[in-house]
Structure formats: structure tokens, C-alpha cells
Chains A and B, each alone.
Chain A
């Protein structure tokens, strides 16, 4: 048994579990793109299994925030000024966890990760009645485009609900972002279910 446990895992295996299921138990939607499956757009309906625990949100838009198209995981998106953007994302569960996501944001800004204690000590704002950590970061932002953006800033908060999480993130040139600090917090506190 000990030898088996130490042996190299197989790189070719036969599927041993076969289940015969009545077709009525499998409601399969039409083919969805990855963007639709991962909630970045919503041209196809979600399966009842995942849709059932969704949260619908409403909010008060601050002055000067221009709504952008949204869909799926993006519950709201706004253009602010010339280059800043605020995105409200909804994810099931904890969306990977508070600490992991805050440190992912810090990584995007080229900053060192925070310890659990430092994250627990972050200032809080109330979002949907939940005391949620609020972060401000400045540095060189590297997003999904892979292009470093020096002198950028990030404002963000993560609200953990019983079955889902709300991520609000404002990124852009530091001067534009930091001037929106108050509007950002007011916007987060205006979110309602």
C-alpha cells in the first residue's frame, strides 16, 4: 500500500464510472461561449442550477459616472473621467476568498501581499449591511491586457453575503481615482438587494 501511495500517478486512465440517467434529469442549455459560461456576457439563459442563487442589485449612480454595458458576472460598470472604470461583480460563494482577492488586487498593483492580520485590520464600509473591508492602493497597475500602467490607483471593497460575494473595484489614473474616493464609498453604501 505504501508503495502504491508513492508511485507516480498514471498519465492514462480508463473511465470506470458510468451512470445511466433519465434524460429528464439533465436539462442542458444550448451551447454557450466561455464568456457566457463564466458570466462575462448573458446572451444565453443560465442553467437553473446556477441561476437559483443569484442576487439582484440596485444602486444610486454618482454624478459624472457613465454607465457601461454589463452582463453576467458584471452587475454594473461605469466609465469615470477619461480613463477610470468602476466594476461591480457578483460571484457565487466567496469568489475565491477575501484574503486571496485583496492580495490578487495588490499583485495587480505591484504591491506585496498583506497578512491575514493586516487584512482583518483594514477599514470597513457597510455594504448591504455587511461591514466590508475597504482598500486603497497606488502603484503600477497590470491588468489582463498585460500592459503596465504606472501611477494608477485602485479603490475596492468586497462584500461577503451568505451565498454570494460582491466585488466593487475602481481603477484608473491615480489622480482621477483618488478624487472619487467619497463618491466610491457613497456608491458602495447605496447598493441594495
Chain B
């Protein structure tokens, strides 16, 4: 048994494995980048970069299983620890190399933490608008709250909980403080609302149905929809409504003498601070509508205190692990005087500082290693000259 474990360790620590992993990483990154043209960035991330194993169709005809980047980077980390930290000869001449390997391990850990616990999304604000929320790019949520309540308590159902709902398998959501149950009787990943017409075999509400569309559309371009029923806990009357990702407003419905708002929107995340857009500035190239530069003067509001800041294309705002970048603005081609909006990309990375620490450790390790090599070389030359 010990021999088997030793053999496994030898393989995991070998430089041959490191070479194979690097070649596979290069190959998967290459085919994944090409696939992005057809599949879109999020589907490619899911299939090639966040998976343990994937199947790539070469020329759309030949299926070839490939390891995913998630598995490859995990194995690369194991290889680095086994070969670069455990098996390596310890001594002052190797100390710098060990430190450099440790720095790369820190970098990999940082990447893993960001993948597992990081968040990304967008926040769109008009001038004078304040928000402490941002929307994630892929997932959706159903939110229900009582109209005219202050403050508002939103009951939020995340995408993963209703994504499997269908006519054969409806899902009911409840809460002890909520006087009604919400049943999702169908969910369509990509659909368009259409007048119901003569179709009777699909659920309809208020004269409309949701028409499913092929899921071949890129993930980020799909507009999902759901059929929901509101069932008061102490009454039998049921309200049925359709929710669609591009609807112009939430479904506002009377149930049991109370007015409820049911919204269907991209999943929202709360920031630990609020952002107010004070002024959006766009500079155009002379005599054109092409933007040369654009920036947002914002105020970060936290615990009642206000902190003004400016976010421009290469100058993000960083605070509490969140980074807010200037992403876009609109409406595009708007004439002078149009009320513009600014869209900020929001990225949360709990390990935001790890790449910096990794670079510092890596630099220290390499400086020590090459410094030590130089010192030994100079000492040998001095000894040769002396003899």
C-alpha cells in the first residue's frame, strides 16, 4: 500500500505531469475561446472553464472528452504542492524556488476563492438615483412584497429553486409571515409572450401565453418567463399571472384585500454601501457621436456618511472587496439634453488582495533565488582567482 501511495505521489509531483497539465490548459483555453463565438461567454465559462470534464465537438462531428480548466488547475495546484513544496530538496539554495512556488499556490487559492465566493454584476443609475443593489448577469429571481409597505420586506425566490418547475411538477413557496403561497407552475428558460389566441394546451393568463424559444440562443441573450399562481392561505381564490424577464413592470395584483407586487428580474445582490450617481459625463470626438471618454461622479454613502469619488474607464472604485468599474452608458446615440444613465460593472472578490500578495512573495522568492545564485557565482570566481 505504501508503495502504491509513493508511486501516486511521484506521479503527482512529477514535472512530466506539470508539462501535460500546461499543454492541456493551453488546448482547452484555445478551443474554449473559439467556442465563445457560437456559445457566448457564459456558456463557455460553464462548459470549459468551470467544469471537471467537458466534451468538445471537433468540426461539429467528432466528440472528444477534455478535462475542464477547474480540474486542470486543481491538479496543477496539487502538482505544485507535491513537487514544488514537499518533494523539492530543502536548503538555502532552493529556498527562493520554494517561496516562488508558494506564491503561485497563493495565486491559485485566490482564483479558487473568487470562483467560489466572488460575485459579478451590473448597476445602472440615472443621475441623482441611489442604489445599494446590483444585478447578476445570468440568474433570475422572483420577488414578492406588499405594496405601500414601509419599509418593504421582499420575499425572494432564487432561480435555482424554480428552474425545474413545470406543469407536471409545480413548486410551491411559502413563508410563515407571508399570507399567501406562491406556486410556480411553469418555467421557460427562453420565451416570448404572445396573445393566447386559440391555443388551449398551454397555461395562459390575462389573454397571454409564454411561447418557448429554442435554447440554442446564447445563455446571456435568453429571456426566461414563468407562470405563477398566488394562493391566499385563508381563501380559495387563486390569481394566475405570467412573469417575463423583459416585462415593462412587475405584476401588481389584489389578493385578499391586499395589493401585492410580484417582480421577475435578474438576481440582485446587496452592497454594504449605497452609490448615488451625481453626474455622468461623456466626451465625444469632435463633430461625431463617438464617445472619447466617459466617467461617473458618484457618492458612496455608508453609515450616514458621504464619500465623493469619480469612476472612469481605467479608474475603478475599490471598497470592502468590491470593485466598481465604468462599464457602459446610454441611451446610445442620444441627442444633447437626453437624460443619460451610467452602468457600473460590480465585482466582488473576497481574495482581492491575494494576487498582490502573491506577486510580492513571488518577487521576494525570485530575487532571493537569483541573488543567491549570483552570490555563489561571484564567490566561486573569487575562489578560482585566489587559487
Q: Do A and B come from one complex?
A: yes
Q: Which residues of A contact B (CB under 8 A)?
A: 9-15, 17-26, 28-40, 44, 46-55, 72, 91-97, 99-101, 103-104, 116, 143-147, 162-163, 193
Whether the Cβ atoms of A25 and B216 lie closer than 8 Å is no
Contacts of A26 in B (CB 8 A): 145, 152, 261
Bits for B201-221, please: 1 = Cβ < 8 Å to A, else 0: 000011110010110111001
Whether the Cβ atoms of B190 and A100 lie closer than 8 Å is yes
* For the complex of A and B, 6 pairs with smallest distance between CB atoms: A146-B198, A97-B217, A144-B197, A34-B206, A31-B252, A17-B156
Q: Is B171 an interface residue (CB 8 A)?
A: yes
Q: Which residues of B contact A (CB under 8 A)?
A: 38, 124, 126, 130-133, 143, 145, 147, 149-158, 161, 164, 169-175, 178, 190-199, 205-208, 211, 213-214, 216-218, 221-223, 241-242, 244, 246-254, 259, 261, 270, 330-333, 341
Q: Taking A30-B252, A32-B248 as contacts, is the C-beta distance between A101 and B213 under 8 angstroms?
A: yes
Whether the Cβ atoms of A23 and B223 lie closer than 8 Å is no
Whether the Cβ atoms of A39 and B151 lie closer than 8 Å is no
Measured CA separation A22–B130 after assembly (Å): 11
Measured CA separation A116–B150 after assembly (Å): 51
Total contacts A-B at CB 8 Å: 189
Measured CA separation A147–B44 after assembly (Å): 41
Whether the Cβ atoms of B213 and A104 lie closer than 8 Å is yes
Measured CA separation A72–B193 after assembly (Å): 13
Whether the Cβ atoms of B223 and A93 lie closer than 8 Å is yes
Whether the Cβ atoms of A12 and B249 lie closer than 8 Å is no
Contacts of B244 in A (CB 8 A): 37-38
From A10, A34, A52, A97, give the contact of B341 (CB < 8 A).
A52
Whether the Cβ atoms of A38 and B151 lie closer than 8 Å is no
Contacts of B330 in A (CB 8 A): 52-53, 163
Whether the Cβ atoms of A44 and B155 lie closer than 8 Å is no
Shortest C-beta distance, A130 to chain B (Å), equals 13
Residue of B at shortest CB range from A8? B169
